[in-house]
Structure 1
Amino acid sequence: MDREKVKALLEAVAGGAVTPEQALARLRSLPVEDLRFARVDLHRSLRHGVPEAVFCQGKTPEQVIAIARRLAEAHDNILCTRAQPPIVEALLGSGLDCRVHADARLVVVKPRPTDGVGLIVVVSAGTSDTAVAEEAAVTAATMGNRVERLYDCGVAGLHRLVPHLDLLDEANALIAVAG
Protein backbone atom coordinates (compact mmCIF):
# COMPACT_ATOMS: atom_id res chain seq x y z
CA MET A 1 0.00 0.00 0.00
CA ASP A 2 1.46 3.37 -0.98
CA ARG A 3 0.95 6.78 0.64
CA GLU A 4 -1.98 7.71 -1.59
CA LYS A 5 -3.82 4.46 -0.86
CA VAL A 6 -3.26 4.82 2.90
CA LYS A 7 -4.51 8.41 2.71
CA ALA A 8 -7.56 7.33 0.65
CA LEU A 9 -8.31 4.59 3.19
CA LEU A 10 -8.13 7.07 6.08
CA GLU A 11 -10.37 9.50 4.19
CA ALA A 12 -12.85 6.67 3.55
CA VAL A 13 -12.94 5.94 7.28
CA ALA A 14 -13.40 9.64 8.07
CA GLY A 15 -16.20 9.86 5.49
CA GLY A 16 -17.95 6.76 6.79
CA ALA A 17 -17.53 4.72 3.59
CA VAL A 18 -15.26 2.24 5.40
CA THR A 19 -15.59 1.16 9.01
CA PRO A 20 -12.57 1.26 11.31
CA GLU A 21 -12.76 -2.54 11.51
CA GLN A 22 -12.61 -2.82 7.71
CA ALA A 23 -9.65 -0.45 7.62
CA LEU A 24 -7.86 -2.48 10.29
CA ALA A 25 -8.44 -5.64 8.27
CA ARG A 26 -6.81 -3.99 5.24
CA LEU A 27 -3.90 -2.68 7.29
CA ARG A 28 -3.36 -5.95 9.15
CA SER A 29 -1.49 -7.55 6.26
CA LEU A 30 1.00 -4.70 6.24
CA PRO A 31 3.96 -4.39 5.94
CA VAL A 32 5.12 -7.87 4.84
CA GLU A 33 3.21 -10.78 3.37
CA ASP A 34 4.65 -14.27 3.66
CA LEU A 35 4.08 -16.33 0.51
CA ARG A 36 6.08 -19.25 2.01
CA PHE A 37 8.80 -18.94 -0.65
CA ALA A 38 9.05 -15.14 -0.46
CA ARG A 39 8.35 -12.40 2.04
CA VAL A 40 6.84 -9.59 -0.02
CA ASP A 41 7.59 -6.07 1.26
CA LEU A 42 4.33 -4.18 0.83
CA HIS A 43 5.62 -1.05 2.61
CA ARG A 44 8.68 -0.45 0.45
CA SER A 45 6.92 2.37 -1.41
CA LEU A 46 6.05 4.08 1.87
CA ARG A 47 9.72 4.05 2.87
CA HIS A 48 11.36 4.64 -0.53
CA GLY A 49 8.69 5.99 -2.89
CA VAL A 50 8.72 2.93 -5.17
CA PRO A 51 7.45 -0.61 -4.64
CA GLU A 52 9.68 -3.65 -4.22
CA ALA A 53 11.11 -5.01 -7.47
CA VAL A 54 11.01 -8.69 -8.36
CA PHE A 55 14.46 -10.05 -9.19
CA CYS A 56 13.44 -12.94 -11.46
CA GLN A 57 16.78 -14.69 -11.80
CA GLY A 58 16.68 -17.97 -9.88
CA LYS A 59 12.91 -17.91 -9.40
CA THR A 60 10.36 -20.15 -11.10
CA PRO A 61 7.74 -18.57 -13.35
CA GLU A 62 5.09 -19.48 -10.76
CA GLN A 63 7.01 -17.72 -7.99
CA VAL A 64 7.49 -14.58 -10.09
CA ILE A 65 3.80 -14.49 -10.98
CA ALA A 66 2.71 -14.96 -7.36
CA ILE A 67 5.01 -12.19 -6.11
CA ALA A 68 4.11 -9.82 -8.97
CA ARG A 69 0.40 -10.49 -8.52
CA ARG A 70 0.54 -9.69 -4.78
CA LEU A 71 2.58 -6.54 -5.35
CA ALA A 72 0.21 -5.42 -8.14
CA GLU A 73 -2.73 -5.70 -5.74
CA ALA A 74 -1.12 -2.93 -3.70
CA HIS A 75 0.97 -0.95 -6.21
CA ASP A 76 1.49 0.15 -9.80
CA ASN A 77 4.70 -0.15 -11.83
CA ILE A 78 6.05 -3.45 -10.50
CA LEU A 79 9.50 -4.06 -11.99
CA CYS A 80 10.33 -7.69 -12.81
CA THR A 81 14.06 -7.57 -13.54
CA ARG A 82 16.43 -10.04 -15.20
CA ALA A 83 13.40 -11.73 -16.76
CA GLN A 84 14.42 -14.50 -19.15
CA PRO A 85 12.04 -15.66 -21.94
CA PRO A 86 10.25 -18.38 -19.89
CA ILE A 87 9.45 -15.80 -17.18
CA VAL A 88 8.33 -13.23 -19.77
CA GLU A 89 6.05 -15.77 -21.46
CA ALA A 90 4.56 -16.80 -18.11
CA LEU A 91 3.92 -13.19 -17.10
CA LEU A 92 2.28 -12.44 -20.44
CA GLY A 93 0.02 -15.47 -20.01
CA SER A 94 -0.83 -14.71 -16.38
CA GLY A 95 -3.58 -12.17 -17.02
CA LEU A 96 -1.54 -9.41 -15.40
CA ASP A 97 -1.20 -6.12 -17.28
CA CYS A 98 2.42 -6.33 -18.53
CA ARG A 99 4.73 -4.22 -20.64
CA VAL A 100 7.84 -6.05 -21.87
CA HIS A 101 11.18 -4.30 -22.38
CA ALA A 102 13.20 -7.08 -24.02
CA ASP A 103 16.47 -5.13 -24.36
CA ALA A 104 16.36 -4.40 -20.63
CA ARG A 105 15.33 -7.97 -19.71
CA LEU A 106 12.57 -6.30 -17.73
CA VAL A 107 8.79 -6.55 -17.48
CA VAL A 108 6.68 -3.82 -15.87
CA VAL A 109 3.51 -5.21 -14.30
CA LYS A 110 0.59 -2.80 -14.02
CA PRO A 111 2.38 0.07 -15.81
CA ARG A 112 0.96 3.50 -15.00
CA PRO A 113 2.20 7.05 -15.61
CA THR A 114 3.86 8.61 -12.60
CA ASP A 115 5.75 11.79 -11.76
CA GLY A 116 9.52 11.63 -11.47
CA VAL A 117 12.03 14.14 -10.24
CA GLY A 118 13.79 15.20 -13.41
CA LEU A 119 16.35 14.19 -16.00
CA ILE A 120 18.45 11.05 -15.66
CA VAL A 121 21.22 10.38 -18.17
CA VAL A 122 22.36 6.78 -18.59
CA VAL A 123 25.88 6.46 -19.99
CA SER A 124 27.36 3.11 -21.03
CA ALA A 125 30.94 2.29 -21.87
CA GLY A 126 30.43 -0.43 -24.45
CA THR A 127 27.87 -2.27 -26.50
CA SER A 128 28.05 -5.25 -24.11
CA ASP A 129 26.74 -2.95 -21.35
CA THR A 130 23.50 -2.20 -23.19
CA ALA A 131 21.25 -4.65 -21.30
CA VAL A 132 22.25 -3.27 -17.90
CA ALA A 133 22.09 0.32 -19.17
CA GLU A 134 18.60 -0.31 -20.58
CA GLU A 135 17.51 -1.86 -17.28
CA ALA A 136 18.56 1.36 -15.54
CA ALA A 137 16.97 3.57 -18.21
CA VAL A 138 13.64 1.72 -18.22
CA THR A 139 13.58 1.69 -14.42
CA ALA A 140 14.15 5.45 -14.29
CA ALA A 141 11.53 6.09 -16.99
CA THR A 142 9.01 3.84 -15.23
CA MET A 143 9.52 5.98 -12.13
CA GLY A 144 8.42 8.97 -14.21
CA ASN A 145 11.76 10.52 -15.02
CA ARG A 146 12.87 11.91 -18.35
CA VAL A 147 15.70 9.67 -19.54
CA GLU A 148 18.45 10.31 -22.07
CA ARG A 149 20.81 7.56 -23.21
CA LEU A 150 24.46 7.93 -24.22
CA TYR A 151 25.61 4.43 -25.16
CA ASP A 152 28.95 3.02 -26.29
CA CYS A 153 30.97 5.99 -25.06
CA GLY A 154 34.00 3.81 -24.36
CA VAL A 155 36.09 3.62 -21.23
CA ALA A 156 39.05 5.07 -23.10
CA GLY A 157 36.88 7.28 -25.29
CA LEU A 158 35.58 9.88 -22.88
CA HIS A 159 36.09 12.44 -25.67
CA ARG A 160 32.87 10.95 -27.08
CA LEU A 161 31.01 12.69 -24.25
CA VAL A 162 32.28 16.19 -25.08
CA PRO A 163 29.38 16.94 -27.48
CA HIS A 164 26.98 16.05 -24.66
CA LEU A 165 28.42 18.15 -21.81
CA ASP A 166 25.37 20.43 -21.69
CA LEU A 167 23.10 17.41 -21.30
CA LEU A 168 25.33 15.99 -18.57
CA ASP A 169 25.26 19.34 -16.73
CA GLU A 170 21.46 19.49 -17.00
CA ALA A 171 20.96 16.02 -15.53
CA ASN A 172 19.62 15.53 -12.02
CA ALA A 173 21.46 12.20 -11.93
CA LEU A 174 23.92 10.26 -14.06
CA ILE A 175 24.06 6.48 -14.21
CA ALA A 176 27.33 5.08 -15.55
CA VAL A 177 27.44 1.46 -16.73
CA ALA A 178 30.81 -0.11 -17.51
CA GLY A 179 31.48 -3.87 -17.74
Structure 2
Amino acid sequence: MAEPVDDALAELALVADLDHDRATRRGYPEAVYCEPKTPDQVRIVAAALRDRAGATDGVPPVALFTRASDEHARAVLDVLPDARWEPQARLVAWPPQPPAPTGGRVVVVAAGTSDLPVAHEAALTAGYLGRATDLVVDVGVAGLHRITRHLGTLRAARAVVVVAGMDGALPGVVAGLVAAPVVAVPTSVGYGASFGGIAALLTMLNACAPGIGVVNIDNGYGAGHLAAQIAAP
Protein backbone atom coordinates (compact mmCIF):
# COMPACT_ATOMS: atom_id res chain seq x y z
CA MET A 1 0.00 0.00 0.00
CA ALA A 2 1.35 3.41 -0.95
CA GLU A 3 2.32 5.78 1.85
CA PRO A 4 0.24 8.98 2.22
CA VAL A 5 3.25 11.12 1.27
CA ASP A 6 3.73 9.12 -1.93
CA ASP A 7 0.05 9.52 -2.79
CA ALA A 8 0.26 13.28 -2.25
CA LEU A 9 3.37 13.54 -4.43
CA ALA A 10 1.71 11.56 -7.21
CA GLU A 11 -1.29 13.90 -7.16
CA LEU A 12 0.96 16.95 -6.99
CA ALA A 13 2.84 15.91 -10.13
CA LEU A 14 -0.41 16.38 -12.06
CA VAL A 15 -0.98 19.89 -10.66
CA ALA A 16 2.25 21.76 -9.85
CA ASP A 17 6.02 21.52 -9.42
CA LEU A 18 6.60 23.25 -6.08
CA ASP A 19 9.83 25.18 -5.64
CA HIS A 20 10.64 23.94 -2.14
CA ASP A 21 14.16 25.38 -2.27
CA ARG A 22 13.11 28.94 -3.05
CA ALA A 23 13.31 30.02 0.59
CA THR A 24 16.92 28.81 0.76
CA ARG A 25 17.84 30.28 -2.62
CA ARG A 26 16.08 33.65 -2.36
CA GLY A 27 15.27 34.02 1.32
CA TYR A 28 11.51 33.98 0.69
CA PRO A 29 9.19 31.02 0.07
CA GLU A 30 7.00 30.37 -2.93
CA ALA A 31 3.40 31.60 -2.81
CA VAL A 32 0.38 29.80 -4.23
CA TYR A 33 -1.81 31.94 -6.50
CA CYS A 34 -5.25 30.41 -6.06
CA GLU A 35 -7.55 32.42 -8.33
CA PRO A 36 -7.30 30.31 -11.53
CA LYS A 37 -6.99 27.01 -9.65
CA THR A 38 -9.76 24.67 -8.57
CA PRO A 39 -10.25 24.01 -4.84
CA ASP A 40 -9.08 20.43 -5.40
CA GLN A 41 -5.84 21.64 -6.97
CA VAL A 42 -5.23 24.00 -4.06
CA ARG A 43 -5.98 21.17 -1.60
CA ILE A 44 -3.36 18.97 -3.29
CA VAL A 45 -0.73 21.70 -3.03
CA ALA A 46 -1.56 22.33 0.63
CA ALA A 47 -1.32 18.60 1.39
CA ALA A 48 2.08 18.42 -0.29
CA LEU A 49 3.36 21.33 1.80
CA ARG A 50 2.04 19.68 4.97
CA ASP A 51 3.56 16.30 4.14
CA ARG A 52 6.94 17.75 3.22
CA ALA A 53 7.08 19.64 6.54
CA GLY A 54 6.20 16.44 8.40
CA ALA A 55 8.75 14.35 6.52
CA THR A 56 11.61 16.74 7.28
CA ASP A 57 10.60 17.31 10.94
CA GLY A 58 11.51 20.94 10.43
CA VAL A 59 9.69 24.21 10.92
CA PRO A 60 7.86 24.79 7.62
CA PRO A 61 8.58 28.00 5.76
CA VAL A 62 5.63 30.35 5.54
CA ALA A 63 3.14 29.32 2.87
CA LEU A 64 0.89 32.06 1.49
CA PHE A 65 -2.18 31.22 -0.59
CA THR A 66 -3.14 34.43 -2.37
CA ARG A 67 -6.36 35.49 -4.13
CA ALA A 68 -8.21 32.71 -2.36
CA SER A 69 -11.99 32.38 -2.47
CA ASP A 70 -14.04 30.92 0.36
CA GLU A 71 -13.89 27.57 -1.46
CA HIS A 72 -10.10 27.75 -1.79
CA ALA A 73 -9.79 28.62 1.89
CA ARG A 74 -11.94 25.66 2.91
CA ALA A 75 -9.78 23.38 0.77
CA VAL A 76 -6.61 24.62 2.51
CA LEU A 77 -8.18 24.35 5.96
CA ASP A 78 -9.22 20.77 5.21
CA VAL A 79 -5.56 19.73 5.26
CA LEU A 80 -4.02 22.61 7.24
CA PRO A 81 -6.70 23.21 9.89
CA ASP A 82 -4.54 25.65 11.87
CA ALA A 83 -3.97 27.94 8.87
CA ARG A 84 -5.06 31.58 9.13
CA TRP A 85 -7.80 32.74 6.73
CA GLU A 86 -8.10 36.47 6.08
CA PRO A 87 -11.17 36.86 3.86
CA GLN A 88 -10.84 40.61 3.22
CA ALA A 89 -7.30 40.14 1.92
CA ARG A 90 -8.28 36.84 0.27
CA LEU A 91 -5.18 35.30 1.79
CA VAL A 92 -4.50 32.09 3.71
CA ALA A 93 -1.25 31.80 5.69
CA TRP A 94 0.37 28.73 7.21
CA PRO A 95 1.75 28.46 9.87
CA PRO A 96 -0.82 30.87 11.33
CA GLN A 97 1.62 33.06 13.25
CA PRO A 98 4.00 35.31 11.30
CA PRO A 99 7.70 35.08 12.12
CA ALA A 100 9.30 37.42 14.62
CA PRO A 101 9.96 40.68 12.76
CA THR A 102 13.43 41.64 11.63
CA GLY A 103 14.79 44.47 9.53
CA GLY A 104 13.00 47.76 9.01
CA ARG A 105 9.35 48.67 9.30
CA VAL A 106 6.90 48.61 6.39
CA VAL A 107 4.00 51.08 6.42
CA VAL A 108 1.04 50.35 4.15
CA VAL A 109 -1.20 53.30 3.26
CA ALA A 110 -4.72 52.88 1.87
CA ALA A 111 -6.17 55.93 0.13
CA GLY A 112 -9.76 54.88 0.82
CA THR A 113 -11.81 52.18 2.49
CA SER A 114 -12.45 50.63 -0.93
CA ASP A 115 -8.71 50.05 -1.28
CA LEU A 116 -8.48 48.08 1.98
CA PRO A 117 -8.60 44.55 0.50
CA VAL A 118 -5.46 45.19 -1.52
CA ALA A 119 -3.84 47.09 1.35
CA HIS A 120 -4.50 44.23 3.75
CA GLU A 121 -3.00 41.79 1.26
CA ALA A 122 0.15 43.92 1.11
CA ALA A 123 0.39 44.35 4.88
CA LEU A 124 -0.13 40.66 5.64
CA THR A 125 2.39 39.65 2.99
CA ALA A 126 5.06 41.95 4.43
CA GLY A 127 4.28 40.71 7.94
CA TYR A 128 4.52 37.04 7.00
CA LEU A 129 7.80 37.74 5.24
CA GLY A 130 9.20 38.98 8.53
CA ARG A 131 8.68 42.72 8.70
CA ALA A 132 6.98 44.84 11.36
CA THR A 133 4.04 46.43 9.58
CA ASP A 134 1.69 49.36 10.19
CA LEU A 135 -1.51 50.14 8.28
CA VAL A 136 -2.72 53.72 7.70
CA VAL A 137 -6.20 54.01 6.22
CA ASP A 138 -8.47 56.55 4.51
CA VAL A 139 -5.94 59.29 3.83
CA GLY A 140 -6.61 59.92 0.15
CA VAL A 141 -6.18 63.21 -1.65
CA ALA A 142 -9.84 64.18 -1.22
CA GLY A 143 -8.85 65.10 2.35
CA LEU A 144 -5.15 65.67 1.96
CA HIS A 145 -4.70 67.10 5.46
CA ARG A 146 -5.29 63.61 6.89
CA ILE A 147 -1.94 62.26 5.67
CA THR A 148 -0.06 64.87 7.71
CA ARG A 149 -1.35 63.30 10.94
CA HIS A 150 0.70 60.20 10.14
CA LEU A 151 4.01 61.78 9.16
CA GLY A 152 5.82 60.32 12.19
CA THR A 153 4.72 56.80 11.26
CA LEU A 154 5.54 57.28 7.59
CA ARG A 155 8.99 58.73 8.25
CA ALA A 156 9.89 55.83 10.55
CA ALA A 157 9.38 53.34 7.72
CA ARG A 158 12.09 51.66 5.69
CA ALA A 159 9.56 51.17 2.89
CA VAL A 160 6.07 52.58 2.28
CA VAL A 161 3.37 50.88 0.23
CA VAL A 162 0.67 53.25 -1.06
CA VAL A 163 -2.55 51.71 -2.36
CA ALA A 164 -4.94 53.93 -4.32
CA GLY A 165 -7.58 53.78 -7.01
CA MET A 166 -9.57 56.59 -8.66
CA ASP A 167 -6.94 59.15 -9.82
CA GLY A 168 -4.06 57.30 -8.12
CA ALA A 169 -2.41 60.54 -6.95
CA LEU A 170 -1.53 59.57 -3.38
CA PRO A 171 1.83 57.78 -3.98
CA GLY A 172 3.33 60.93 -5.46
CA VAL A 173 2.18 62.95 -2.47
CA VAL A 174 3.63 60.47 0.02
CA ALA A 175 6.90 60.17 -1.89
CA GLY A 176 7.32 63.92 -1.55
CA LEU A 177 7.08 63.64 2.23
CA VAL A 178 9.34 60.70 3.11
CA ALA A 179 12.88 59.49 2.49
CA ALA A 180 11.95 55.80 2.13
CA PRO A 181 11.17 54.17 -1.22
CA VAL A 182 7.47 54.10 -2.08
CA VAL A 183 5.84 51.06 -3.67
CA ALA A 184 2.72 52.26 -5.48
CA VAL A 185 -0.25 49.94 -6.01
CA PRO A 186 -3.03 51.03 -8.37
CA THR A 187 -6.40 49.45 -7.58
CA SER A 188 -9.35 48.79 -9.84
CA VAL A 189 -11.52 51.09 -7.68
CA GLY A 190 -13.21 53.92 -9.54
CA TYR A 191 -15.89 55.00 -12.00
CA GLY A 192 -15.93 54.27 -15.73
CA ALA A 193 -13.02 56.42 -16.88
CA SER A 194 -10.75 54.78 -14.32
CA PHE A 195 -10.72 51.84 -16.76
CA GLY A 196 -10.39 49.23 -14.03
CA GLY A 197 -7.30 50.82 -12.52
CA ILE A 198 -5.47 51.83 -15.70
CA ALA A 199 -5.95 55.54 -14.95
CA ALA A 200 -4.39 55.12 -11.49
CA LEU A 201 -1.58 53.01 -12.97
CA LEU A 202 -0.70 55.70 -15.51
CA THR A 203 -0.77 58.43 -12.86
CA MET A 204 1.63 56.44 -10.67
CA LEU A 205 3.96 55.70 -13.57
CA ASN A 206 4.04 59.44 -14.35
CA ALA A 207 4.48 60.68 -10.77
CA CYS A 208 7.05 63.47 -10.58
CA ALA A 209 8.34 62.58 -7.11
CA PRO A 210 11.40 60.31 -7.32
CA GLY A 211 11.73 57.01 -5.50
CA ILE A 212 8.45 55.41 -6.60
CA GLY A 213 8.20 51.86 -7.95
CA VAL A 214 4.86 50.72 -9.36
CA VAL A 215 3.40 47.21 -9.30
CA ASN A 216 0.48 45.82 -11.25
CA ILE A 217 -3.17 46.71 -10.66
CA ASP A 218 -4.51 45.21 -7.39
CA ASN A 219 -1.18 43.44 -6.77
CA GLY A 220 -1.03 43.74 -2.99
CA TYR A 221 1.04 40.57 -2.71
CA GLY A 222 3.72 41.88 -5.09
CA ALA A 223 3.83 45.22 -3.28
CA GLY A 224 4.13 43.65 0.16
CA HIS A 225 6.82 41.29 -1.06
CA LEU A 226 8.87 44.09 -2.63
CA ALA A 227 8.54 46.25 0.48
CA ALA A 228 9.67 43.33 2.65
CA GLN A 229 12.75 42.90 0.50
CA ILE A 230 13.54 46.62 0.63
CA ALA A 231 13.22 46.57 4.44
CA ALA A 232 15.26 43.38 4.90
CA PRO A 233 17.99 43.44 7.58
TM range (shorter): 0.7 to 0.9
Equivalent residue in structure 2 for 1:35, among 13, 16, 19: 13
Q: What secondary structure sits across from 1:50 in the alignment?
A: coil
TM superposition shift of 1:39: 2.1
TM superposition shift of 1:36: 2.6
Equivalent residue in structure 2 for 1:89, among 70, 74, 83: 74
Equivalent residue in structure 1 for 2:47, among 69, 75, 78: 69
State the Cα deviation string for residues 21-78 of structure 1 (Å, max 9, x = none): xxxxxxxxxxxxx723222111211232121001110101121122233334253320
TM superposition shift of 1:128: 1.3
Assess if the C-alpha contact under 8 Å between 1:76 and 1:112 holds in 2: no
Distance 1:111 1:95, change over 3 A: closer
Q: Count residues with an aligned counterpart.
A: 147
Distance 1:151 1:91, change over 3 A: same
Q: What secondary structure sits across from 1:104 in the alignment?
A: coil
* Length-normalised TM-score, structure 1: 0.73
Is the aligned partner of 1:125 residue 2:103?
Answer: no
Mind listing any 5+ residue stretches in structure 1 that lack a counterpart? Answer: 1-33
TM superposition shift of 1:99: 1.0
Which residue of structure 2 lines up, in the alignment, with residue 52 of structure 1?
A: 30
Alignment of 1:145-156 (within 5 A): 145-156=131-142
TM superposition shift of 1:129: 0.8
Letter of the 1:154 counterpart = G
State the Cα deviation string for residues 144-178 of structure 1 (Å, max 9, x = none): 32111111211443321111111111101111111
Aligned alpha-carbon RMSD (Å): 2.0
Is the aligned partner of 1:165 residue 2:168?
Answer: no
After the TM superposition, list the runs of 4 or more consecutive aligned residues in structure 1 that deviate by more than 3 angstroms. 155-158
Distance 1:87 1:56, change over 3 A: same
Distance 1:103 1:158, change over 3 A: same
TM superposition shift of 1:112: 4.4
TM superposition shift of 1:113: 4.3
